[in-house]
């Protein structure tokens, strides 16, 4: 597993077993971002083709199957905009419900009575607003004393205005109560019969639709992703196979196809997570949390999470330091190799004879004894040239 991970890392960041330059890596990251943004835009369009549950089963339609509608305003198309009958983006139940509602709202009686209700509610709203302004202007105790104040001055005017609005509100409420109920209108009985007869069917269909929405979205994602996976997967497999067989191949094709495959897997994993979250019931998770709290295991998990976080950051720090140490050792070895090939002293950089134990210019020791075979080797070499064992001061 670790070897496969290292091989994948090499395929993503190396060009013929050589690390990518900073400029090449920068352009590759830019290409990854462009591909990722393009995939996100296309996937949003693909997922939007699946109607959301709140669109296919609108809240206005749902309320009719869950609540008893007996007010004129419940059927007011000016507020709820019941226009499902000509819209294929909603369920057949809601479109049929719209037809039943239109029978009610199309009658002249409904329109005239609704107009009366609107006028009454408009006046009631204005009166309530005016009463509120008076209550802000005069405190509560003063309002209680208005009835005992003689008809003079500002308080008398406020008293008459306040009393007249209260009387008018009572009259308006009485007029509203005399309006014929919506249940007596033509078409209401058919509407009620349809709602009662299809309530359970509607609820079952609605829940089923909601359940399958994430799966349908994931299917649309796969329709777009799978062909790309096949194309770039074949390109990567072809290049990798030719590389392993030591045949001519194009490293750029291998690098770009490997990056694209990795990016294509991200939305698949994301939508798989959505499906898993959709399948796991919330109650089960809540019961599990309650059990952990009651049994005291939640505190243990808290300790474990702290330990895991500490270990994770420790591993990250260790990996960074190990890489830095490796790069530093490689740099030192390159310097030793260069120094020996040019016959330079490691201390003063003058040209020396490495068959001699000391530098004639500064006295630096050039050779050291191997602890395994007592042979002499050049100082700084990682292994003894006589026995092949590691040197204690090898860099």
Q: What one-character DSSP code corresponds to residue 274?
A: H
Spatial CA neighbour of 117 closest among 77, 81, 82, 71: 71
pLDDT tens string 45-57: 999 988 888 888 8
Average pLDDT over residues 29-45: 92
pLDDT given for residue 370 in this prediction? 85
3-state SS assignment for residue 347 = coil
Question: Do 272 and 218 form a contact (C-beta atoms < 8 A)?
Answer: yes
Q: What is the mean pLDDT of the chain?
A: 81
Average pLDDT over residues 281-302: 69
pLDDT given for residue 215 in this prediction? 93
Average pLDDT over residues 81-97: 72
pLDDT over 80 (residue 291): no
pLDDT given for residue 81 in this prediction? 47
Give the residue, 221 or 130, on which the prediction is more confident.
Answer: 221
Length of the chain: 395
What 92-96 contacts at long range (C-beta under 8 Å, 24+ apart), as own/partner pairs, is 93/61, 93/65, 93/198, 93/201, 93/202, 93/205, 94/57, 94/58, 94/61, 96/194
pLDDT given for residue 6 in this prediction? 64
pLDDT over 90 (residue 270): yes
pLDDT tens string 137-193: 665 555 555 555 555 456 667 677 777 888 888 888 888 888 888 888 888 999 999
Judged by phi (left if over 0) then psi (alpha if -120 to 50, else beta), residue 380 lies in left
pLDDT given for residue 180 in this prediction? 85
Average pLDDT over residues 66-79: 78
Confidence of residue 8 (pLDDT cuts 50, 70, 90): low
Sequence spans of domains, the chain: 54-206
Cα–Cα distance, 53 to 56 (Å, whole number): 5
Q: What one-character DSSP code corresponds to residue 356?
A: S
pLDDT over 50 (residue 206): yes
Among 12-16, 264-268, 279-283, the range with the most confident prediction by mean pLDDT is 264-268
pLDDT given for residue 181 in this prediction? 85
- Orientation of helix 251-279 relative to helix 2-13, angle to 10°: 120
Spatial CA neighbour of 395 closest among 337, 345, 333, 349: 333
Average pLDDT over residues 92-120: 87
First to last CA, the chain: 30
pLDDT given for residue 343 in this prediction? 84
pLDDT over 50 (residue 297): yes
pLDDT given for residue 193 in this prediction? 92
Average pLDDT over residues 30-54: 91
Q: Which two tokens stand for residue 88?
A: 């294929």
Give the residue, 331 or 172, on which the prediction is more confident.
Answer: 172
Query: What are the helix (H) ranges across 147-281?
Result: 153-178, 188-244, 251-279
pLDDT over 50 (residue 126): yes
Measured CA to CA in angstroms, residue 139 lies from 133, 135, 136 at distances of: 11, 6, 7
Cα–Cα distance, 392 to 395 (Å, whole number): 9
Compute, in degrees rounded to 10, the torsion defined by CA atoms 343, 347, 349, 355. Answer: -20
Question: Do 221 and 43 form a contact (C-beta atoms < 8 A)?
Answer: yes
pLDDT given for residue 286 in this prediction? 67
Question: Do 155 and 149 form a contact (C-beta atoms < 8 A)?
Answer: yes
Q: What is the pTM of this model?
A: 0.59
Q: Residue 369's beta-bridge partner residues?
A: 376
Among 105-119, 162-176, 207-221, 371-385, the range with the most confident prediction by mean pLDDT is 207-221
Confidence of residue 42 (pLDDT cuts 50, 70, 90): very high
Average pLDDT over residues 206-231: 93
Confidence of residue 264 (pLDDT cuts 50, 70, 90): very high
pLDDT over 80 (residue 306): yes
Average pLDDT over residues 276-292: 71
Q: Which two tokens stand for residue 294?
A: 């009651």
Q: Which two tokens stand for residue 234?
A: 């074949």
The sign of the dihedral angle between the CA atoms of 176, 177, 179, 184 is positive
Q: Name the phi and psi angles at 156, rounded to 5.
A: -65, -40
pLDDT over 50 (residue 201): yes
pLDDT given for residue 216 in this prediction? 93
């Amino acid at each position: 597993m670790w070897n496969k991970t290292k091989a994948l890392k090499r395929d993503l960041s190396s060009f013929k077993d050589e690390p990518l330059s900073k400029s090449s890596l920068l352009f590759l990251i830019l290409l990854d971002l462009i591909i990722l943004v393009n995939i996100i835009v296309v996937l949003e369009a693909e997922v939007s083709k699946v109607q959301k549950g709140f669109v296919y089963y609108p809240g206005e339609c749902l309320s009719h199957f869950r609540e008893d509608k007996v007010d004129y305003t419940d059927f007011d198309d000016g507020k709820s905009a019941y226009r499902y009958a000509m819209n294929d983006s909603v369920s057949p139940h809601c479109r049929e419900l719209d037809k039943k509602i239109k029978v009610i709202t199309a009658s002249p009686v409904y329109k005239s009575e609704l107009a009366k209700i609107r006028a009454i509610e408009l006046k009631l709203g204005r009166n309530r607003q005016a009463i509120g302004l008076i209550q802000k202007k005069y405190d509560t105790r003063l309002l209680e004393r208005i009835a005992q104040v003689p008809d003079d001055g500002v308080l008398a005017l406020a008293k008459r205005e306040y009393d007249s609005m209260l009387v008018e509100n009572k009259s308006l409420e009485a007029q509203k109560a005399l309006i014929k109920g919506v249940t007596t209108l033509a078409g209401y009985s058919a509407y009620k019969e349809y709602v009662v007869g299809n309530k359970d069917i509607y609820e079952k269909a609605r829940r089923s639709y909601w359940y399958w929405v994430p799966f349908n979205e994931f299917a649309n994602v796969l329709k777009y992703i799978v062909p790309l996976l096949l194309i770039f997967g074949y390109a990567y497999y072809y290049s990798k196979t030719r590389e392993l067989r030591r045949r001519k191949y194009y490293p750029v094709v291998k690098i770009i196809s490997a990056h694209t495959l990795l990016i294509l897997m991200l939305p698949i994993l994301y939508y798989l997570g959505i499906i898993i979250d959709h399948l796991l019931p919330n109650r089960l998770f809540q019961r599990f949390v309650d059990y952990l709290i009651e049994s005291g295991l939640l505190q243990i998990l808290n300790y474990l999470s702290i330990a895991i976080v500490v270990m994770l950051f420790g591993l990250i720090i260790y990996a960074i330091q190990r890489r830095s140490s490796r790069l530093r050792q490689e740099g030192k070895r390159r310097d030793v190799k260069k120094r020996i090939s040019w016959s330079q002293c490691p201390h003063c950089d003058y040209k020396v004879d490495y068959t001699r134990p000391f530098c004639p210019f500064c006295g630096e020791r050039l050779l050291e004894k191997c602890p395994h075979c007592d042979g002499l080797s050049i100082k700084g070499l990682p292994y003894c040239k006589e026995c092949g064992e590691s040197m204690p001061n090898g860099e």
